């Protein structure tokens, strides 16, 4: 068994000797990008991927971290809503390769990948399933490109859930243009926040989207951590990529794109259940006082740091 966790993401929740504790239990553990008390931009490059791989034949990814609030064993920010996906066959092997890549970065030792290969996979089902990885070490913003492709190709609807909505002008323009073209664009964000300053920044982006015809909702029971897109009963994605600067450009991320397969309907059904528990926002709801509005404008300037 191997466990890889991001040090910055776990800095305040895990003991400093956690890797040694796991090793004492016979678990091979590595810490990705260990925290160092020096000013360095590399600390921004967190491993935000969530992957569980079992024998290279079955794998999971999505928004879930290993913490009690994600399964509502404890209540941290109200009811915690998340989304994940289970893959089997060749798609599961794709996620396994992503894990081994990150393991190599953390351990500085390469593996013979053939030793982990599960052998020929059974024939696939209907449609296409494509896991994808995003890395700050190359020039491809894969997570952003997947999202933009779905938005730009939508003809009837595009439905989105995201815990954070802190986007640049190109993403705002794509969402606004889709809505103005008659596409039913709906976005659900949390009503209960995990980080107040980030939630205030998210709300700073509501007005221009509402004015363009995008319909916005907040998940009323608690914190929404799911990252899903679904469009036209044809394409969907489930993964780890938030709609914020860090996730789109600075972190190691992953996801799964679905095309013309039965799981697309399942993603849509999950969105609709979330929508039923959410409150729609109007422009009247997004007219803060002048001091709050000025504060939100300052937050938008600082958005790349969040």
pTM across the whole model: 0.91
pLDDT digit of tens for each residue in the chain (306 aa)?
A: 999 999 887 877 888 889 899 999 999 999 998 877 666 566 788 999 999 999 999 999 999 999 999 999 999 899 999 999 999 989 999 999 999 999 998 888 777 887 888 877 776 778 999 999 999 988 899 999 999 999 999 999 999 999 999 998 999 999 999 999 999 999 999 999 888 888 888 888 899 999 999 999 999 999 999 999 999 999 999 999 999 999 999 999 999 999 999 999 999 999 999 999 999 999 988 777 667 777 767 777 666 665
- Is 48 designated active site? yes
Helix (H) or strand (E) holding 175: helix 169-180
- Is 50 designated active site? yes
Catalytic hit among 50, 191, 199, 268: 50
Q: What is the DSSP letter of 145?
A: H
Residue 190 structure tokens: 């949390």
Picking from 29, 136, 129, 62, the residue whose alpha carbon sits closest to that of residue 89 is 129
Picking from 188, 218, 195, the residue whose alpha carbon sits closest to that of residue 76 is 195
- Is 199 designated active site? no
Catalytic hit among 6, 48, 191, 244: 48
Specify the pLDDT at position 290.
Answer: 66
Catalytic hit among 191, 227, 251, 268: 227
Measured CA to CA, the distance from residue 42 to residue 243 in angstroms comes to 21
Picking from 185, 174, 194, 169, the residue whose alpha carbon sits closest to that of residue 63 is 194
What number does CATH give the domain 45-305? 3.30.870.10
**How many other CB atoms are found less than 10 A from the CB of residue 94?**
21
Specify the pLDDT at position 109.
Answer: 79
Catalytic hit among 90, 184, 194, 232: 232
Catalytic hit among 81, 191, 199, 225: 225
CA dihedral 99, 104, 109, 112 (to 10 degrees): 50
Specify the pLDDT at position 248.
Answer: 95
């Amino acid at each position: 068994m191997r466990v890889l966790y991001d040090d910055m993401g776990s800095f305040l929740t895990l003991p400093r000797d956690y890797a040694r504790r796991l090793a004492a239990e016979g678990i091979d553990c590595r810490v990705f990008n260990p925290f160092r008390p020096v000013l360095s931009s590399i600390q921004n490059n967190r491993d935000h991927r969530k992957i569980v791989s079992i024998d290279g034949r079955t794998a999971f990814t999505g928004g879930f971290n290993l913490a009690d609030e994600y399964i509502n064993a404890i209540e941290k920010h109200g009811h915690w809503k998340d989304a994940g996906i289970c893959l089997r066959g060749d798609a599961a092997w794709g996620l396994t390769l992503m894990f081994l890549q990150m393991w190599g970065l953390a351990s500085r030792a390469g593996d013979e990948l053939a030793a982990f290969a599960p052998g020929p996979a059974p024939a696939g089902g209907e449609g296409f399933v494509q896991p994808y990885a995003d890395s700050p070490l190359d020039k491809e913003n894969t997570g952003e490109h997947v999202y933009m492709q779905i938005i730009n190709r939508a003809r009837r609807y595009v439905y989105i859930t995201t815990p954070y909505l802190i986007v640049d002008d190109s993403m705002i323009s794509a969402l606004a243009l889709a809505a103005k073209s008659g596409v039913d664009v709906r976005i659900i964000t949390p009503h209960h926040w995990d980080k107040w300053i980030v939630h205030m920044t998210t709300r700073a982006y509501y007005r221009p989207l509402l004015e363009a015809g995008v319909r916005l909702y907040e998940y009323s029971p608690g914190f929404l951590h799911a990252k899903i897109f679904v469009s036209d009963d044809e394409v969907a994605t489930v993964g780890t990529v938030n709609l914020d600067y860090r996730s789109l450009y600075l972190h190691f991320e992953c996801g799964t794109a679905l095309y013309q397969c039965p799981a697309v309907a399942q993603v849509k059904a999950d969105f609709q259940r979330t929508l039923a528990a959410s409150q729609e926002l109007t422009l009247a709801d997004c007219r803060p006082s002048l001091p709050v509005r000025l504060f939100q404008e300052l937050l938008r300037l600082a958005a790349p740091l969040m």
